[in-house]
Protein backbone atom coordinates (compact mmCIF):
# COMPACT_ATOMS: atom_id res chain seq x y z
CA UNK A 1 0.00 0.00 0.00
CA UNK A 2 1.32 3.41 -0.99
CA UNK A 3 1.96 5.45 2.11
CA UNK A 4 1.25 8.69 0.38
CA UNK A 5 -2.24 7.69 -0.54
CA UNK A 6 -2.91 6.58 3.05
CA UNK A 7 -1.75 9.92 4.41
CA UNK A 8 -2.53 12.37 1.63
CA UNK A 9 -2.08 15.38 3.87
CA UNK A 10 1.31 14.55 5.29
CA UNK A 11 3.24 15.58 2.20
CA UNK A 12 1.72 19.01 2.45
CA UNK A 13 2.36 19.66 6.09
CA UNK A 14 5.71 17.97 6.59
CA UNK A 15 7.73 20.08 4.27
CA UNK A 16 8.15 23.79 3.80
CA UNK A 17 7.31 23.89 0.10
CA UNK A 18 4.12 21.92 0.59
CA UNK A 19 2.99 24.00 3.52
CA UNK A 20 3.58 27.25 1.65
CA UNK A 21 1.83 25.95 -1.46
CA UNK A 22 -1.21 25.06 0.64
CA UNK A 23 -1.21 28.42 2.44
CA UNK A 24 -0.88 30.31 -0.84
CA UNK A 25 -3.78 28.44 -2.41
CA UNK A 26 -5.94 28.84 0.69
CA UNK A 27 -5.38 32.61 0.70
CA UNK A 28 -6.21 32.81 -3.02
CA UNK A 29 -9.41 30.88 -2.36
CA UNK A 30 -10.33 33.13 0.57
CA UNK A 31 -9.80 36.20 -1.62
CA UNK A 32 -12.04 34.71 -4.29
CA UNK A 33 -14.86 33.84 -1.93
CA UNK A 34 -14.65 37.22 -0.23
CA UNK A 35 -14.89 38.88 -3.65
CA UNK A 36 -17.88 36.75 -4.61
CA UNK A 37 -19.60 37.64 -1.31
CA UNK A 38 -19.91 41.23 -2.58
CA UNK A 39 -20.32 40.31 -6.24
CA UNK A 40 -16.85 41.38 -7.24
CA UNK A 41 -14.88 39.51 -9.87
CA UNK A 42 -11.94 37.79 -8.10
CA UNK A 43 -9.77 38.58 -11.13
CA UNK A 44 -9.83 42.24 -10.08
CA UNK A 45 -7.75 41.47 -6.99
CA UNK A 46 -4.05 40.73 -7.01
CA UNK A 47 -2.37 38.88 -4.18
CA UNK A 48 1.00 40.31 -3.21
CA UNK A 49 3.16 38.06 -1.05
CA UNK A 50 5.09 40.16 1.48
CA UNK A 51 8.50 38.53 1.81
CA UNK A 52 10.26 40.86 4.26
CA UNK A 53 12.03 39.05 7.07
CA UNK A 54 12.02 35.69 5.27
CA UNK A 55 14.86 33.49 4.08
CA UNK A 56 15.46 32.76 0.43
CA UNK A 57 14.22 29.19 0.62
CA UNK A 58 10.87 30.45 1.88
CA UNK A 59 10.60 32.92 -0.99
CA UNK A 60 11.64 30.28 -3.50
CA UNK A 61 8.88 28.04 -2.19
CA UNK A 62 6.18 30.66 -2.68
CA UNK A 63 7.48 31.48 -6.15
CA UNK A 64 7.31 27.76 -6.95
CA UNK A 65 3.72 27.85 -5.72
CA UNK A 66 2.97 30.43 -8.39
CA UNK A 67 3.50 33.81 -6.70
CA UNK A 68 4.99 36.48 -8.96
CA UNK A 69 4.06 39.67 -7.14
CA UNK A 70 6.36 40.17 -4.14
CA UNK A 71 6.50 43.03 -1.64
CA UNK A 72 9.51 44.19 0.37
CA UNK A 73 10.03 46.94 2.95
CA UNK A 74 13.79 47.47 3.07
CA UNK A 75 16.02 48.10 0.08
CA UNK A 76 19.18 46.39 1.36
CA UNK A 77 17.32 43.19 2.21
CA UNK A 78 15.41 43.31 -1.08
CA UNK A 79 18.51 43.72 -3.25
CA UNK A 80 19.96 40.44 -2.00
CA UNK A 81 16.74 38.60 -2.81
CA UNK A 82 16.32 40.25 -6.19
CA UNK A 83 19.84 39.21 -7.11
CA UNK A 84 19.28 35.63 -5.96
CA UNK A 85 16.00 35.26 -7.85
CA UNK A 86 17.05 37.22 -10.94
CA UNK A 87 16.98 34.15 -13.19
CA UNK A 88 13.30 33.50 -12.55
CA UNK A 89 11.24 35.35 -15.15
CA UNK A 90 8.21 37.45 -14.38
CA UNK A 91 8.78 38.38 -10.75
CA UNK A 92 7.48 41.84 -9.92
CA UNK A 93 8.98 43.54 -6.86
CA UNK A 94 6.94 46.23 -5.17
CA UNK A 95 8.24 48.57 -2.46
CA UNK A 96 5.73 48.79 0.39
CA UNK A 97 7.87 50.13 3.27
CA UNK A 98 8.64 53.66 4.31
CA UNK A 99 11.19 55.18 1.93
CA UNK A 100 14.00 57.32 3.30
CA UNK A 101 14.88 60.11 0.88
CA UNK A 102 18.48 59.01 0.60
CA UNK A 103 17.34 55.60 -0.67
CA UNK A 104 15.10 57.03 -3.38
CA UNK A 105 17.64 56.45 -6.15
CA UNK A 106 18.03 52.74 -5.40
CA UNK A 107 14.30 52.30 -4.92
CA UNK A 108 13.46 53.93 -8.24
CA UNK A 109 16.03 51.77 -9.99
CA UNK A 110 15.15 48.37 -8.56
CA UNK A 111 11.43 48.32 -7.85
CA UNK A 112 8.73 48.28 -10.51
CA UNK A 113 6.14 49.90 -8.26
CA UNK A 114 6.22 51.95 -5.03
CA UNK A 115 3.17 51.78 -2.72
CA UNK A 116 4.49 54.07 -0.02
CA UNK A 117 4.84 57.58 -1.43
CA UNK A 118 3.75 59.90 1.34
CA UNK A 119 5.28 63.31 0.62
CA UNK A 120 5.97 65.68 -2.24
CA UNK A 121 9.63 65.64 -1.24
CA UNK A 122 9.91 61.89 -1.76
CA UNK A 123 7.84 62.05 -4.95
CA UNK A 124 10.18 64.72 -6.32
CA UNK A 125 13.24 62.59 -5.68
CA UNK A 126 11.72 59.44 -7.16
CA UNK A 127 10.64 61.49 -10.17
CA UNK A 128 14.10 62.95 -10.69
CA UNK A 129 15.94 59.61 -10.56
CA UNK A 130 13.37 57.84 -12.71
CA UNK A 131 13.42 60.63 -15.30
CA UNK A 132 17.23 60.43 -15.48
CA UNK A 133 16.84 56.92 -16.86
CA UNK A 134 13.98 57.92 -19.19
CA UNK A 135 11.64 55.61 -17.37
CA UNK A 136 8.23 55.77 -15.72
CA UNK A 137 7.54 54.62 -12.17
CA UNK A 138 4.03 53.63 -11.10
CA UNK A 139 3.28 54.69 -7.53
CA UNK A 140 0.52 54.75 -4.95
CA UNK A 141 -0.05 57.51 -2.42
CA UNK A 142 0.12 56.12 1.11
CA UNK A 143 -2.63 57.61 3.25
CA UNK A 144 -3.07 57.58 6.99
CA UNK A 145 -6.84 57.28 7.36
CA UNK A 146 -6.87 56.45 11.07
CA UNK A 147 -4.87 59.26 12.66
CA UNK A 148 -2.74 56.71 14.46
CA UNK A 149 0.53 58.53 15.09
CA UNK A 150 2.84 55.62 14.41
CA UNK A 151 1.62 55.29 10.82
CA UNK A 152 3.22 56.93 7.83
CA UNK A 153 1.17 58.47 5.09
CA UNK A 154 -0.53 61.64 3.95
CA UNK A 155 -2.83 62.96 6.66
CA UNK A 156 -6.22 61.80 5.46
CA UNK A 157 -8.17 60.85 8.58
CA UNK A 158 -10.20 64.05 8.74
CA UNK A 159 -12.64 64.00 5.84
CA UNK A 160 -13.45 67.67 6.43
CA UNK A 161 -9.85 68.51 5.50
CA UNK A 162 -9.63 66.61 2.24
CA UNK A 163 -9.57 69.96 0.42
CA UNK A 164 -6.11 70.59 1.85
CA UNK A 165 -5.06 67.12 0.80
CA UNK A 166 -6.02 67.91 -2.78
CA UNK A 167 -3.51 70.78 -2.74
CA UNK A 168 -0.81 68.47 -1.45
CA UNK A 169 -1.52 65.81 -4.04
CA UNK A 170 -1.88 68.06 -7.11
CA UNK A 171 1.88 68.75 -7.56
CA UNK A 172 2.65 65.01 -7.26
CA UNK A 173 0.29 64.31 -10.15
CA UNK A 174 2.26 66.75 -12.31
CA UNK A 175 5.56 64.90 -11.99
CA UNK A 176 6.21 63.50 -15.46
CA UNK A 177 8.11 60.32 -14.55
CA UNK A 178 5.63 59.16 -11.90
CA UNK A 179 2.34 57.46 -12.73
CA UNK A 180 -0.04 57.75 -9.80
CA UNK A 181 -2.19 54.62 -9.91
CA UNK A 182 -4.14 54.89 -6.67
CA UNK A 183 -3.96 54.76 -2.89
CA UNK A 184 -2.47 52.54 -0.20
CA UNK A 185 -3.19 52.32 3.51
CA UNK A 186 -2.31 50.37 6.60
CA UNK A 187 -4.94 50.68 9.34
CA UNK A 188 -4.09 50.09 13.01
CA UNK A 189 -3.91 46.45 14.03
CA UNK A 190 -7.13 45.04 15.48
CA UNK A 191 -7.64 41.47 16.68
CA UNK A 192 -11.09 41.69 15.11
CA UNK A 193 -10.75 42.50 11.38
CA UNK A 194 -14.23 44.08 11.32
CA UNK A 195 -12.72 47.02 13.21
CA UNK A 196 -10.48 47.76 10.24
CA UNK A 197 -13.48 48.02 7.89
CA UNK A 198 -14.24 51.75 8.51
CA UNK A 199 -10.66 52.62 7.50
CA UNK A 200 -10.87 50.63 4.27
CA UNK A 201 -14.18 52.35 3.58
CA UNK A 202 -12.59 55.73 4.19
CA UNK A 203 -9.77 55.00 1.75
CA UNK A 204 -12.33 54.06 -0.88
CA UNK A 205 -14.30 57.25 -0.23
CA UNK A 206 -11.07 59.21 -0.61
CA UNK A 207 -10.44 57.49 -3.93
CA UNK A 208 -13.93 58.47 -5.12
CA UNK A 209 -13.35 62.02 -3.91
CA UNK A 210 -10.04 62.28 -5.79
CA UNK A 211 -11.62 60.82 -8.91
CA UNK A 212 -14.11 63.68 -8.83
CA UNK A 213 -11.44 66.31 -8.22
CA UNK A 214 -8.94 65.09 -10.82
CA UNK A 215 -10.07 63.70 -14.16
CA UNK A 216 -6.69 61.96 -14.54
CA UNK A 217 -5.22 59.65 -13.38
CA UNK A 218 -7.84 56.92 -13.06
CA UNK A 219 -7.02 56.07 -9.39
CA UNK A 220 -7.80 52.42 -10.12
CA UNK A 221 -5.67 50.77 -7.43
CA UNK A 222 -6.49 50.37 -3.74
CA UNK A 223 -3.67 48.56 -1.91
CA UNK A 224 -5.13 47.47 1.42
CA UNK A 225 -5.54 44.38 3.56
CA UNK A 226 -2.92 42.20 5.29
CA UNK A 227 -2.94 38.72 6.84
CA UNK A 228 -5.48 39.56 9.53
CA UNK A 229 -7.94 41.60 7.52
CA UNK A 230 -7.56 41.00 3.77
CA UNK A 231 -11.04 39.50 3.38
CA UNK A 232 -12.65 42.66 4.76
CA UNK A 233 -10.39 44.78 2.52
CA UNK A 234 -11.51 42.79 -0.53
CA UNK A 235 -15.15 43.41 0.38
CA UNK A 236 -14.37 47.13 0.58
CA UNK A 237 -12.72 47.35 -2.82
CA UNK A 238 -9.05 46.34 -2.49
CA UNK A 239 -7.34 45.66 -5.81
CA UNK A 240 -4.05 44.55 -4.22
CA UNK A 241 -3.85 42.77 -0.88
CA UNK A 242 -0.47 42.47 0.86
CA UNK A 243 -0.16 39.19 2.71
CA UNK A 244 2.90 37.86 4.54
CA UNK A 245 2.37 35.81 7.68
CA UNK A 246 -0.75 33.94 6.53
CA UNK A 247 1.25 32.43 3.67
CA UNK A 248 4.88 32.32 4.81
CA UNK A 249 4.48 31.97 8.57
CA UNK A 250 6.13 34.11 11.23
CA UNK A 251 8.99 36.29 10.08
CA UNK A 252 12.41 35.09 11.15
CA UNK A 253 14.65 37.94 10.00
C1 LIG B 1 4.67 43.49 6.70
C2 LIG B 1 3.64 44.20 5.90
C3 LIG B 1 2.52 43.53 5.36
C4 LIG B 1 2.22 42.07 5.61
O5 LIG B 1 1.84 41.85 6.93
P6 LIG B 1 1.30 40.42 7.42
O7 LIG B 1 0.53 40.73 8.63
O8 LIG B 1 2.49 39.56 7.67
O9 LIG B 1 0.44 39.87 6.32
C10 LIG B 1 1.66 44.26 4.56
N11 LIG B 1 1.86 45.58 4.30
C12 LIG B 1 2.90 46.25 4.80
C13 LIG B 1 3.05 47.69 4.48
C14 LIG B 1 3.82 45.60 5.61
O15 LIG B 1 4.85 46.29 6.12
pLDDT tens column, 159-204: 999 999 999 999 999 999 999 999 999 999 999 999 999 999 999 9
213 alpha carbon – ligand 1 mean position (Å) = 30
Substitution candidate for ligand 1 out of 27, 71, 196 with most atoms within 8 A of CB: 71
Q: Is 58 exposed, middle or buried (0-12, 13-18, 19+ CB in 10 A)?
A: buried
- Segment 29-44, tens digit of pLDDT: 999 999 999 999 999 9
Please report the atom of ligand 1 found closest to the CA of residue 116. Answer: 13
Percent of the chain with pLDDT over 70: 94
More confident residue, 4 or 115: 115
Average model confidence (pLDDT) for the chain?
A: 94
**d(CA 243, ligand 1 centre) in Å:** 6
Residue 2 has pLDDT above 50, yes or no: no
Q: How far is the CA of 95 from the centre of ligand 1 (A)?
A: 11
Q: How far apart are CA 30 and CA 33, in angstroms?
A: 5
Ligand 1 contact via 247 beta carbon (within 6 Å) = no
Q: What distance in Å separates the CA atoms of residue 120 and residue 180, rounded to the nearest whole number?
A: 12
Query: CB atoms < 10 A from the CB of 57, how many?
Result: 10
pLDDT digits (tens, 9 = 90+) for 47-87: 999 999 999 999 999 999 999 999 999 999 999 999 999 99
- The answer to whether the CB of 245 is under 6 A from ligand 1 is yes
> How high is the pLDDT of residue 14?
57
Helix, strand, or coil (residue 233): helix
Model confidence at 10: pLDDT above 70: no
Q: What's the pTM?
A: 0.94
The pLDDT value recorded for residue 1 is 41
Residue from 31, 231, 244, 250 to probe ligand 1 pocket by mutation (most atoms less than 8 Å from CB): 244
pLDDT at 3 over 70: no
DSSP letter string over 163-209? HHHHHHHHHHHT-TTEEEEEEE--PPP-SSGGGGHHHHHHHHHHHHH
C-alpha of residue 248 to centroid of ligand 1, in Å: 11
Q: Which atom of ligand 1 approaches the CA of 251 most closely?
A: 8
Residue nearest to atom 11 of ligand 1 (CA): 242
Q: Is 49 in the pocket of ligand 1 (CB under 6 A)?
A: no
Q: 3-state DSSP call for residue 20?
A: helix
Backbone phi and psi for residue 122, each to the nearest 5 degrees, phi listed first: -65, -45
Q: Which residues pair with 221 in a beta bridge?
A: 182
- E strands of 96-238, at which residues? 113-117, 137-144, 154-155, 178-184, 221-223
Please give the pLDDT value at position 168. 96
Q: Is 16 exposed, middle or buried (0-12, 13-18, 19+ CB in 10 A)?
A: middle
Residue 5 reports pLDDT greater than 70? no
Fold of the domain built from segment(s) 8-248: TIM Barrel (3.20.20)
Q: Per residue in 222-241, pLDDT tens?
A: 999 999 999 999 999 999 99
Q: Peptide bond before 217: cis, by omega within 30 degrees of 0?
A: yes
Indicate the SS3 state at residue 69. Answer: strand
The pLDDT tens digits of the residues spanning 131-140 come to: 999 999 999 9
Amino acid sequence: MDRESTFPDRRHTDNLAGRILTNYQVVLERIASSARSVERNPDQIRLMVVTKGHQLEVIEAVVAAGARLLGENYIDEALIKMQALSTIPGIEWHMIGHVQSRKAELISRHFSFVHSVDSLKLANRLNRFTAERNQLLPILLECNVSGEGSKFGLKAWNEGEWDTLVNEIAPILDLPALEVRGLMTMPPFFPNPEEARPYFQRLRRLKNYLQERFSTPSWEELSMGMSGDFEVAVQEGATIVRVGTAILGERTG
